[in-house]
Structure 1
Amino acid sequence: MKLHYLKYLITLLSITLLMSNDTYAETNQKQSELKIYQNDVFQETFLLLDINKLDKAIGKIDIIDEDGYKLRYRQRDLEGVIDSVTRHTLDEHHGDGEDYPLWREYLRRPHPSLQTLRHFLEQAAQEFGVPVTILEAIAQVETNWTQIGPSIDRGWGIMHLVQNHYADTLGEAATRLNLDTQVLKDDARQNIRGAAALLAHYAGDDPLPRLEDWFEALKQFSGLVNDELREMQALRYYDIIKTGSQSHTLWGETLILESHPNVSLTPERINRARRSSRSTDYAPAISNLTTCNYSSRSSRTIDTWVNHWIGTGTYAGTISWFHNCNAKVSSHFVIRASDGEITQIVQVKNIAWHAGVWDYNKRSIGVEHEVTLANPDTWTTQMLEASANMARYFTDKYGIPRTHSTTPGILGHNEIKSTACPGTFPWDIWMNYLNQEENYAWHGNGSIISYHGRLLPKNAGADWPYGITKDVVQLHPSDDKPVGFFQWQINEDGCSRLMLDAPYLPPNEKEVDITMGRWDTRDHDITFSNITLPFILGETNTPFTLSNENWFVVKVAFNNSLKQKTRLGAICTDALPTTASYNPGGDNALIMKDGYKWNGNASVISHLFRHLRDQVVDSLDWPYGAFRDIILVAPSEEKPMVFFQWQSDAICPQLILDAPDLISDLERQVDVQVKAWDVPNDEAVVYNDKTLPLTIDSTNPKDGSWNVIQIKFRHAISESVSIEAICPLL
C-alpha cells in the first residue's frame, strides 16, 4: 500500500519538476497582472475560460507510464481566480472552511488531460469489466472529469467516492485495491480504478450485457442517503448516457460525450425513480423534507432571500447531505442545473441552517444552486429561470424587496459572511429574470371553431356562425397583460386558415405572441414572437399538416396591458398566411399569473348541437362540444389551469367538473371561477378549495346563457390526465 502511494508521489513530483522555469516565470508575471482585476472581472474571466487572460502558456508535461503510454498533465495558473472565489472562507456547508484550501490545493496540481483521463477510464473498464460509457457518465455528472474534493457530501476525486456518516465507498474502493484512501483522493487513475472495482462488485457475478442492466449497481455506487435519491442519481447518469453532453474543463479543454439514444430504461423504473410529492409551499417544487437540520420559525418575519451554490458535488448529493442529521446544515430549496428541477428540503415556516449567521437564518429563505467550481458552465438558463420564478413568487408573497445587496432584500451568501458562496453567480442575468414578470391574466375565454358546423343548416340559431367558422374572446381593461385562447378544428374546404385580430385596438396595442400546437400535446408547440395583428395561420407558415378534423390550439398573448374593453377574434379565411418565422416551443409564454401553466385548452360546450341528441351522428368527436368536453393535462412543475366555455339551457342547466383518472385527492383540489361570458373577472362566482368532482350552476338561468369557467389546480399534476366537463343529464 505504501509503495503505491510513494510511486504516485514520485510521479507527481516528476511532473512538477519538469515544468519549465520559463513557464513558471510567465505564471508569476501573470499572477501579478491578475491582481489588478476586481472580483467581477475575475468571475467573468472564470466563466468564459479565457485562456489568454488566465495564462498565456499552459504548463504541461508528457511522461511515459509503465505500459509505454504517453500521459499528459496540464497545469494552469488558476491562483488568482480561485482565490477570488475561495479566499478566507468559513462556510458551514464545507467543513467550517477546511474544504476550500483543499480545493485550491487540488486545482494547483498538474491535472491529467482529457486524453489521459480517457486512457485511465478505458484501462479501468477493461480491468474490471465495466462499460467505459458508464464510467464516463459518472465522471461527468459528479465532477466534470475533475480530480477534486471534498464535495458537499464528502465525496472525493473524479468519480466522487464518498466517506461520510452514511456511506463509505471511498473506504470500500481502497480496500478492494489494497491502497490507502489518500491515494484515491489524490490520484485520478486510482480513483477511477476504485470506482470500477466497486461497480463490478455491486454488479455481481451475472453478466450485464446491456448498459441498462447496470442501473441497480449505479444506485448502490452513488453513496446517497436513501433509495429515492440513489434512484434519482442513477437516472441522471442514464440521462447523460442517452443524450450525451458537452462542457469545458478548468484546463481549457472541451469535454464531449457521445449520445446513446437507444438506451432506454423501462417506464416502471423511470416512474419509480421519479415518483414524488409536490411542495405545499411552492407547487413547482418536489417535496423531500428532512427530519432534522432546521429550527421552528415561529412568528418571525421573512424579509430576505439568500442565493447559494453547492461548490462541489451534485443536486442529489446536496439533498442527501441535508438529510444527514450529523451535517447540521440545510437550505429550503435545491435547484438542479440540467433542467431547473427544484426540491424542497425545509418548509418555509421553519428556519433552514444555511447562512451561518442566526440573525439571517431566522429571517430568510435559502436556496442552493447546483453549480460547482469544477464546472463553470452550469449556470444554465433553465436553473436561473426556475430560481428567479421561485424568488418572484416568494418576494410577492412575503413582500421581500427585489433589490440586490440589501436587507430586507436579496443577498448572496458572501454578503452575509466571509465565504466563497455563491461563487460566480450571474447576478445581472438572474435579476433580469426576476424582474421580467409575465402576468398574463385570464379573461374568461375558451373559444372554439368546430367542424361540427357542417351538420347544421345556415343561420341555425342566434349564435350562428360563432363556434363554427369564427369566434370571439371578450377582453377587459386590466394592469395585467391579456391572453386569449382558441381551439380550432381544420376543415380543408372552408377553414384551413385562421385569421386572428383585435380590430378595435390601435396598431400600437396589437403586438402579441402567438403560440400554436396540437390539441393533445404541448411537445410540438411553436411561437411567433412580437408580431402585430392581424395575423393569419396556415400550412405555409407553420410546420403542421392541416388536414380535415385535426384539432389545434392557439394562444394569443398581448405584450401590453389593455386600457379599454375590446374583443379578440378568430375567423376562417381564404387569405394567404402571414409571412413570419416561428420558434419551437411555447414555454416562455405559457406561464400565467401566480405561476399557473396553460395546457393548450379552449374547450366549449354549446347547445347549438343539442337538438341532435337523439340522432346518430357520424363524427368521432360526438358528443364532445355539445354535451361534454375534455382537456388533456400533462405532468409539469407548474400548477395547471384549464378553461371551459359553457352554454346552459334546460338540457344542461348544470355542469359536472371532474378528473376521473386523477388518483391523488391532493392533486384534485381546485379553485374554480364561473362568470358570464362578457363580464370582468371580479364578477365571477368563486368555488375555493374544492375537490373534484364538482357540480357548478350557471350564472344566468336563461336558456342559451354563456358561462366561462376557470379551473385552477392547487397543486402540480404528477401524471397525464383528462379534465372533463359533463352535462348531468347526458
Structure 2
Amino acid sequence: MLRRSKILAALAAVALPITVTGVSSGGPPAAAAPPDSSTTAASAYGAAAAHYGVPESVLLAVSYAESRWDDHQGASSSSGGYGPMHLTAVDPSTVVDLSGKQKIGKSESLRTLYKASQLTGLDPVSLRTDTVANISGGAALLASYQRSLGLPVGADTSAAQWYGAVASYSEAADRAGAAAFADDVYSIMARGAARTTNTGQQVVMPPVSVAPDKSQASKLALPAGAKRTNSDVECPASLGCEWLPAPYAEFGGAGDYGNHDLANRPKTGKIDYIVIHDTEGGWQGTLNMVQDPTYVSWQYTMRSSDGHVWQHVKAKDVAWHAGNWYVNMHSIGIEHEGFAAQGATWYTESLYRNSAKLVKYLAAKNHIPLDRAHIIGHDQVPGTLPTTVRGMHWDPGPYWDWEHYFDLMGAPIYGHSVFPAKAGSIVTIKPDFAGNQQVVTGCTTAGVPCTAQGTNFVYLRQAPDDAAPLVKDFGLRPDGSNSTTQVSDNGARVAAGSQYVVAQREGDWVGVWYLGAIGWFKSPKSAPDAFAKPGLVVKPKAGKTSVPVYGRAYPEESAYPAGIPYQTVTPLQYSIGAGQAYPLSDASIETDYYRAVTFDATTPGDHVQVLGKDKYYQIWFGHRMFYVRAADVDIKPAF
C-alpha cells in the first residue's frame, strides 16, 4: 500500500525578470526569459506579477480559486484546463465529455492557453506542463483582460481595481457566473491561504482586505445570465441558480407516474441529510434525464467546469435519488458532473467551491449538522434489505476530497487529538487527501493500477500488518472473500470524516470495530491518519450477545393506520457483538414512513407520514451509515 506519498518532482521552471515593474497600459511587456530551473513556484508568482503588472495578491488568489496552486501533473481538468492557472486548450468547435459522446458546447474562452502563448511567447507545451510557465501565462492573461477594460496595469495598482479582469478570467458564460467567480477570489484574498502543493511547494498568501469595484462586471461583453426568482430556486443568491423542473407527471397506464413525490417537508418528515452524488456522465445528458418522467430525480445538478447550478425538485418534495426510500424521505440530493473513477479530472475547484456554498446554505435552512454523518456520499447510503446491500452505489468515490470540501464550508473535519487514541476512544479518519495516494485499481482496465492521485480513505486490514488481506464485507461479498483495491469496492475503506471506536492498539497500528469485526489501519504518531475525540458510543444491552442493524428506521406495525400496509423492518446481514462499541452519530432521527404511492396527492391515506414510537439511533458501523433500535443498546461515553 502506498501511504502518504508526496510528489517531489522538481519544477522545470521559467524564471521571469523581476526588474520590470509598473508596466503601463500602452501594450504588453516583452516575452518571458528562457527556462531557469532554479525558480520555485512560490517565487514565480511574485516574479510573474511584477513582470506583467498584476498585483501579486490578485494572481495568487485567482490561482488558488482555480486550482489551490496545484498543477495536476500536467493533466487537464474536464474543461481542458492545465496547471495552477487553469489555462484551457479545448477545440471550440466541439466540446464533449470524457465519454466522447455528449456535446456540451463551444467557446473561444476555452482556448486561453493559446492566448497566453501569444502574450508571453512561451510554447504551448511549456504552458501545459511547466508550473512556472503556466503562472506566467496566467499573469499575462489577467493583464490582458485589465487592458481590454481600459483599466490601469501595474503591480502597484490597487487590487480593488482588478475585479473586472478577475471576472473575465473565470471563462464564465454570463456576467452572473463571472461575478460569482470574482467574489470568490476576493473572499479568498481577504482570508489568506497557505498550503503545500501537490509538488511539495509551500505557498503562502497573507490576507489582504479589499473592497473591489464590482461595477466593473457591467463592462464585460457577456449576457447578464439566467434570471432567478425566489419562488423558483432555493440557492444562495451568489450562485445564480437556474430552475429546470423535474416533471411530476403521469405516463403509460396502471397509475405510473414520475419522477418524484410531492410532500410538505419538514411537516411530512425532517430533512436530515444532503447526499453527494456524481453523474457518471456529462451535464447535458444528466439534465435531459432529470426531465424524463420515467427516470429518477434529484434536487440539484452542478456543472464541473464552472460549478453552475440547476435546481429540479423543491426541498419540500421527495426526490428519487438515494436508492433507499427512508433516506429519500429525509434528504436532498445533489448531482455533480463527473466520473467517480476519474476523480480530480472532473472534481474541479469551481465545483467544490459552489457545491460547498449550496450545501452550507441548505444545511442552515434545514437545520442539518455540517458533519460527515449528515453531509454524506451516495456511497454511505445503506441497503434496505440484505438482498439490496450489494447493489448500493459507490459514488462520489475515492477521489472526492471531503477534507477540502468541509474546509470550504467552514466546518473542518476534526484534526487534533486532545488525548491519545487508545482502546475505547472514538477516532475520526483524516488522512490528508493530497498526500494520501492509496493503491486503487480498475479505473480504466480491470486489475491495472489507476493513475496516482489523492484519495479520501485508508484501507482496513485483517491484522496489524501491511501484508495482511483487506477486511471482509459479507454484504458486498456473500461468499466471504476479501475486499479488493478495485475502484468500486469500498468494503475495506474508511473515509475522511468517518468515525470508529478503537478496539485494540499495537504500535503504529489501530484496530477499530468495523462491521462486527476488527479492522486495522496504520496511524503512526508522526503522521497520523486518525485523531481521538470525545463522544458517545452505543453498546449492546447487558445480556445481549448480538444486536441487529438496519438500513432504515421504519415504525412498528401498530403505528400504521387502517389502509396503509405495514412496512417490514428487516435486519441486515450485519450485527453488533457483545463487547463491541460504535460511535453514535444521531440520536434524534425520526421513526417514520412517508406513504406516497399514487399520483393524486388528495387520495385518502396517501401522501401522509406514519410516525412510530420505536426509537432508533444512527451509528457509524462500517463504510455506510446504519441504524439500531434504542431498545437494543445503551449509550455510553467513549473512554
Q: Please tell me whether Structure 1 or Structure 2 has the larger radius of gyration of its CA atoms.
A: 1
TM-score normalized with structure 2 length: 0.37
TM-score normalized with structure 1 length: 0.33
Greater share of residues in strand:
1
Higher relative contact order (CA 8 A, sep 6+): 2
